[in-house]
Structure 1
Amino acid sequence: MAVVASLHSRNASYSMAFPGVRTALPPRPATIADLPEGDTLAYQPTVQGGPSVFFMGASDFGERDLGGLAPDVAMLAVPSTDVTHDYVPRLLSALDKPATVVPVHWDNFETALTNPPVTTPNDRARLDLFVDAVRRFAPRTRILLPEYLTPYRF
């Protein structure tokens, strides 16, 4: 398992909405405001004989932290703003253009799990911009839009 530093995305004011860290087990979060944005990590578990899968739930990063990972599948957060410079090209380059990209963190995760996932027009527009950027920069990369509670094989 590789665990690497990640950075939470910045809002349109180039700051974090809910800065902070947890130092003890918190109560179950009720809203996004209950989830402070400090000490963010990304993970790439290793499964013998399986594909390498990178999961990054936050939408900013340092390229050096991702060097050498080169996953087969990258589950990547869709950014909430465009303040992170060249997010998709920089990220896909750092990950050596994975064969499959699964956009994550683009739905309303404060709602019940239903298919299709609940989105606002703004959420959908962010997703569409992300998918278009992946297609432009890495045209051979497969993009898989996940559905809740649906198993996938890679």
Structure 2
Amino acid sequence: MHVSVHFNGWGDYPNPKGYTTAPIHGPFEGAFVRDFIDFKDVRKSIPNYSAPKDDAPIEKRVAAYLGESLAQIEPVYEAARKDDYASASPKALKIVNQQLGMGITQLRDEIVNAWRESKDVTAGYPLLSVADVLAGKVELTPTTLASD
């Protein structure tokens, strides 16, 4: 929702399905989560980590995730139209548990991917290889860190 023009109410856009134009962000992500979400249930929607299936860069992986996230906007608004966020309806619980699980999975996976890919990165000036630092070939000192 965060990258959509519909992030907090449908707004002043064509609205053939009559979705709410009132703020939805707080009730959906705040009060509903606080009052009705059991994170034991969210954990059930979080798959085990799996490495990227291709060598796609993070920019491509994040774009794919955001596309998947955008596809969930209408179900969120459909549940709001039926006032499913006022109580713990099974439909609203499923939507919110899935959304939370999807976000947690993406964040976890990209942190793991970044850590794994960081060994191939260089930083500083002169450039230092993270792999060399981890292997003890380069000692990090105030001098090596502050020379750039």
> When the two structures are superposed, what TM-score results if normalisation uses the length of structure 2?
0.22
> When the two structures are superposed, what TM-score results if normalisation uses the length of structure 1?
0.21
Bigger Rg, which one = 2
Higher strand content, 1 or 2: 1
Higher relative contact order (Cα pairs below 8 Å, separated by 6+ residues)? 2
Higher helix content, 1 or 2: 2
